[in-house]
Structures are given as structure tokens and as C-alpha cells.
Amino acid sequence: MSYQKQRNQLINLLIREGIINNQVLEAIKKIPRHHFVPKEYLKEAYENHPLPIGKGQTISQPYTVAFMLEALELKPGQKVLEIGTGSGYNAALIAELIKPGKLYTAEIYQTLIKKAKSILKKYSNIKVIKTDGSQGYQKEAPYDRIISTAAGPEIPKPWLAQLKEEGLIIAPIGTRFNQIVIKAKKIKNKLKKQELGYFQFVPLKGEYGY
């Protein structure tokens, strides 16, 4: 079956699972997820589960990716910070959803950065940065949106400081094995939090991680 056909099937599955945001679905239909998975997993590129990408990390399950992006309420022109570039797949989707806005995506593992950079070089509105994203990325702050694809014990203070008023953070928070995706809105310098659901993520490392 062609990759486009597999992507269309994945879209149907995501709709059945409750994803309704058309822009998110269109982006998933367009971005070739198989470019972001290791060769040995090509056959599973469009299946609804996470896949290993090296260094003990994973490319998240498509449903989880779609769920978080829907919650993030992305709009063209926004400035976004992603923590956890990993394969670069989520970054490519965000870049598509916010263009001509700009995405800054932080990763700690050099090998993952190298791979992601080579795939993402055709996206002119993505900058991959080697930095501890648990501390945010002060240089380009403030951001309209911050999304983390690694789970930490709490929302790091620098993320609040680097978020615009009325901005949103989507991040998995909890213990190493049990996490809830939180949606937090910055109102009068404080975060108003909402719990969205249980998922499993790799741990956030660094200063504010595990």
C-alpha cells in the first residue's frame, strides 16, 4: 500500500478516536511520518503506536501527537517552543500549522539532533537547538505556545516566565511511570491548569526534569 494510502487510513483512525481539528488532520495527511522513523520500522510508520528512534527515546504514537497538537490551538504566525525534538516529526507538524510563524525545538542528544536537522532542513521555519529545554530557551522568548514531548515532575518555572500572557503550555506531568497531559494558560502571570488525560512519555531530563 502507498504511504499516502497508509496516511489516509491513519487519518480515518484518528477521526474515529475523536480528533476533530481539520488543520491538525490535514498536516498529518501531508507530513511523511515514514521519513522520521528508522529504516527497520518503515513498515510500522503509520501504525498507531510509538517507535524507537535511538538513545532509548521514541517517536510518539500518532494519536498522542494529534491529541496534543489539537489541544495546543496553533495558529499561523505564532512563535512556538518544543521541548524534545526526538525524530523531528512533531516539529514538522507544528511548523506546518504555524507557518509563517517560527518553531524553536530543543533536544539534548547530539545524535538525534543531527538526524532531525538533516530531515528538517527543508522546513525554513524550524530551528533545532541543542539545549536543556527544561530551562526553556530564553534567547527567543516570549512564546505563544510551549509544548513538551517529555514528562517532568512539574511545569518548570522558566516556561511560565518565557510564555506570553494568554499563551498555552501543553505538557505531560507526573511520576516517571504515570503522567497526565496538562493544558495550562498564562493569566495574570499565573498558570490556570486543566488535566486532559493519561498518556505515557519518556522522562524529561535536565535541571527541572528527572
Interface contacts to ligand SAH, rule CB under 6 A: 57-60, 83-84, 86-87, 89-90, 106-109, 112, 132-134, 149-150, 202, 204-206, 209
**Is residue 2 flagged as an active site residue?**
no
The CA distance from 97 to 182, in Å, is: 21
Q: Among residues 26 and 165, whose Cβ is nearest to ligand SAH?
A: 26
The CA distance from 187 to 190, in Å, is: 5
The CA distance from 82 to 147, in Å, is: 5
Question: Which one of the listed residues 2, 60, 118, 148 is annotated catalytic?
Answer: 60
Q: Among residues 87 and 192, whose Cβ is nearest to ligand SAH?
A: 87
In 3D space, the residue among 66, 71, 49 whose CA is nearest the CA of residue 58 turns out to be 49
Cα angle 44, 34, 121; round to 5: 155
In 3D space, the residue among 98, 118, 106 whose CA is nearest the CA of residue 207 turns out to be 106
Q: Which residue is nearest to ligand SAH (CB)?
A: 86
Give me the least distance between CB of 187 and ligand SAH, in Å please.
26
Cβ pair 170, 182 in contact under 8 A: yes
Q: Among residues 154 and 165, whose Cβ is nearest to ligand SAH?
A: 154
Give me the least distance between CB of 68 and ligand SAH, in Å please.
9
Q: Which active-site residues does the annotation give?
A: 60
